[in-house]
Structure 1
Amino acid sequence: MKSIFITATDTEVGKTTIASGIISGLINQASTNLTVAGFKPIAAGCDLIDGQLKNEDALSLMQVSNAQFSYQKVNPFALKSAIAPHIAAQQEGANINIEQLDWHYHQWQQTALDYLIVEGAGGWQLPLNESEYLSEWVVKQNMPIVLVVGLKLGCINHALLTAMVVAKMGGNIIGWIANHVDPNMQCQTENVKALAHRLNMPCLGTVPYLANSQNVEEFIDIQLLKSLIA
């Protein structure tokens, strides 16, 4: 099983949209049948559905995957409040740590999957508790990382800072994807060029503003992505 971790420059910049597009692209553009699933370890902001807390991002990943698993497996830490996960966990009496994440990831490694697309929560440096970070777990598991850059004012600084910290921690960003989240942003093309000039990694795609997030896979270079984790 090959894994790809999806992180971003901020929250609400399209990690789920891009993760779903990658899942669909791997499934639809493969010359051979590939089994692909999404994994959203931590989700804050869940609704009670059929007696179980569920998050719309995790449900979106499940909808596009062609390997079906239980909601609990896809999103083991489902928190009700739409706030920082470590604060929500404290308020709701949940305990999230690297050891638990290791256990859940190991369960995925026992499945007959070709690809597991792992979506983070928030940005790169997300606290799990008072002393551990989600980023530390990603580096420990040596997952290839795709950075989603939400194109809005300040995105160049956010992208460069994120890339710098990931590299300093020993993480491996294999590529980045520009996602137009602000249709009114000025000089979008110039910003993408500035990012491409400064980020020392391939650009895997530029996704236009899509109100319904349709056909995202068409704007992502799936073949290049596969070659970078071969």
Structure 2
Amino acid sequence: MTRSFFVTGTNTEVGKTYATAALLHAAAQRGLSTAAVKPVASGCEQTPDGLRNTDALTLMEAMTQDLDYQQVNPVALEPAIAPHIAAMEAGKRLDASRLVGICRGVISGKPDLVLIEGAGGWRVPLTPGTFLSDLPKEMELPVILVVGMELGCINHALLTAEAIRRDGLTLAGWVANFVRGPQADMPRADANLMTLKALLPAPCLGVLPHDESGDYRKGAPHLDLDPLLSSSS
């Protein structure tokens, strides 16, 4: 049975890729087959093979299935700006239905776990009238929220959880990520964690300590996959 989830964040630069790759690695360590999709990525670099995004390449390294780059990152945009603006500048149209089809194609390969990583936060525009959140809505995917642990994160996390619920989706779990510095750099870090655990309507899948190396393998032992694997999604 394939379990599929959409991974979003409380903002951009909160470590979604690090957390997603760590989840994939933790699943692989349990003998599960895994796949991932980064439907839209801005901030790509020109290579002999075309535009490539470091986050998408990290997901390809962490997952067990062998997929073509275009399956993992179907929309690669060069400037590191909002995807809908980058697409307009490149003369491209971001089509949520096309992205849904690609994600479903990856899921049809029947890996045990598929993680689809968003871009930025929950309500990132694709066009003036559509959003990347339309993709998990159309696919009816449960959501994993990565919370960047910093001042203001409680408000961001609760508002994102509310938006997910209002879109008719389930928050399957959340990950606390100290992406910006050591836990000591966040005043009352433990108290903030306790507040989030009390108020977010989903289990905490783990607390990722700050890691200067960015090696997602080091994050995997801090994660608990049981709430995801026991779900019926």
- Fold similarity call, TM over 0.5: yes
Per-residue deviation at 1:223? 2.1
Percent identity of equivalent pairs? 38
Q: Aligned partners of 2:57 and 2:11: how far apart in 1?
A: 21
Find out whether 1:211 has 2:212 as its counterpart: yes
Q: Aligned partners of 1:92 and 1:44: how far apart in 2?
A: 11
Q: Aligned partners of 1:91 and 1:182: how far apart in 2?
A: 31
Judge which range, 80-89 or 182-191, deviates more.
182-191
Contact preservation (8 Å) 1:144, 1:229: no
Per-residue deviation at 1:131? 0.7
Find out whether 1:123 has 2:121 as its counterpart: yes
Residue type of the alignment partner of 1:23:
L
Contact preservation (8 Å) 1:39, 1:118: yes
Number of paired residues? 227
Contact preservation (8 Å) 2:107, 2:114: no
> What TM-score comes out, normalization by structure 1 length?
0.95
Find out whether 1:225 has 2:223 as its counterpart: no
SS at match of 2:70: helix
Contact preservation (8 Å) 1:8, 1:149: yes
Residue type of the alignment partner of 1:219:
H
The equivalent of 2:26 in structure 1 is 25
The equivalent of 2:92 in structure 1 is 94
The equivalent of 1:186 in structure 2 is 187
Contact preservation (8 Å) 2:35, 2:106: no
Per-residue deviation at 1:182? 2.8
Q: Aligned partners of 1:189 and 1:96: how far apart in 2?
A: 40
Name stretches of at least 5 consecutive residues in structure 1 with no aligned partner: none
For residues 159-214 of structure 1, the C-alpha deviation after alignment (integer angstroms, 9 at most, x for no partner) is: 01100111111111111111012322211111101111111211111111111233
The equivalent of 2:162 in structure 1 is 164
SS at match of 2:130: coil
SS at match of 1:159: helix
CA RMSD of aligned residues (A): 1.2
Q: Aligned partners of 1:210 and 1:98: how far apart in 2?
A: 34
Find out whether 1:35 has 2:33 as its counterpart: yes
The equivalent of 2:132 in structure 1 is 134
Find out whether 1:7 has 2:8 as its counterpart: yes
Residue type of the alignment partner of 1:104:
I
For residues 52-98 of structure 1, the C-alpha deviation after alignment (integer angstroms, 9 at most, x for no partner) is: 00000000000111111111111000000100000000000111122
The equivalent of 1:75 in structure 2 is 73
Contact preservation (8 Å) 1:178, 1:206: yes
Q: Aligned partners of 2:109 and 2:180: how far apart in 1?
A: 38
Contact preservation (8 Å) 2:39, 2:75: yes
Q: Aligned partners of 1:198 and 1:223: how far apart in 2?
A: 20
Name stretches of at least 5 consecutive residues in structure 2 with no aligned partner: none
Per-residue deviation at 1:229? 4.3
The equivalent of 2:150 in structure 1 is 152
> What TM-score comes out, normalization by structure 2 length?
0.93
